[in-house]
Amino acid sequence: MENPNNRMVAAGRLESMPTFSHEVMHEPFYAGTLLIKRLSGALDKIPVTIPGKILPPEGDPSGKLMLFQGQVRSYNKVVDGAGRLMVTLFVQSMYETSENETLNKVSLTGALCKPPIYRSTPFGREICDMMLAVNRAFGKSDYIPCIAWGRNAQYAARFHVGDRLRLTGRLQSREYQKLLENGEYLTRNAYEVSAFTLEAPDAAPDFSTTPIDARLEFERLHAQNAAENAPAQK
């Protein structure tokens, strides 16, 4: 079902043949991992949920460059005795393509359901973590972790729970280390939408609602870091 508040389109390759996950109203659904290449060459490994009716009838689609269209969805799952928020690309169409293998675009409109968390990294980069509640049909909502950078982070930090935001970005994966009670570290994967543009459709007049392009901010930070790390001229 089309949802203007939640759209994703991406080109990538399935890591392996999707496996059976569950069944709803006698319709099977399959789970897999989509590998999406960034311009840097790094790979985002994104969980996907695919209705059985749209899997290619000719056989295993893994390894082929394909275009996927759908929505970013979330659900709760008990892992190691604790509830975890799982994020997936719910695929609504897929077909082979030969173009734009770095395509990864998400458009979301939703409301903040937690206070935004603004912070700076040890390297001085500004980050703001957000949790966006995006409505879908039948009174359901998807809770989607989002992250903003630079000036976008400053802008996002001004908002409050219940404020509505519209953003575009990419769905990305990253590894992190979780400290266990026994002192050991466990490697886990996090999935979040990295915002490139951010605006508040319902903002008060004194708020600037001009979208800020984080790509320009990345370029500025890159140039700044390069200048700081350049060898001194003799």
Domains delineated in the chain: 6-99 (2.40.50.140), 107-229 (2.40.50.140)
- Of residues 23 and 59, more confidence is placed in 23
β-strand 6-14 against 82-96: which pairing, if any? Answer: unpaired
Contact 50, 93 (CB under 8 A): no
With a threshold of 0.85, does the pTM exceed it?
no
Q: How confident is the model at residue 121 (pLDDT cuts 50, 70, 90)?
A: confident
Q: Residue 211: is its pLDDT beyond 70? A: no
Q: Residue 219: is its pLDDT beyond 70? A: no
Mean pLDDT of 165-186: 91
d(CA 176, CA 215): 24
For residue 234, the model assigns a pLDDT of 42
d(CA 198, CA 169): 9
User: What is the chain's mean pLDDT, rounded?
Assistant: 87
Mean pLDDT of 60-66: 93
For residue 208, the model assigns a pLDDT of 42
For residue 1, the model assigns a pLDDT of 64
Q: Residue 113: is its pLDDT beyond 90? A: yes
Considering only CA atoms, which of 6, 8, 1 is closest in space to residue 172? 8
Mean pLDDT of 197-206: 76
- Of residues 228 and 104, more confidence is placed in 104
d(CA 166, CA 143): 14
Q: Residue 159: is its pLDDT beyond 70? A: yes
Q: Residue 184: is its pLDDT beyond 90? A: no
Residue keyed to tokens 């009716």: 53
Q: Per residue in 92-102, pLDDT tens?
A: 999 999 988 99
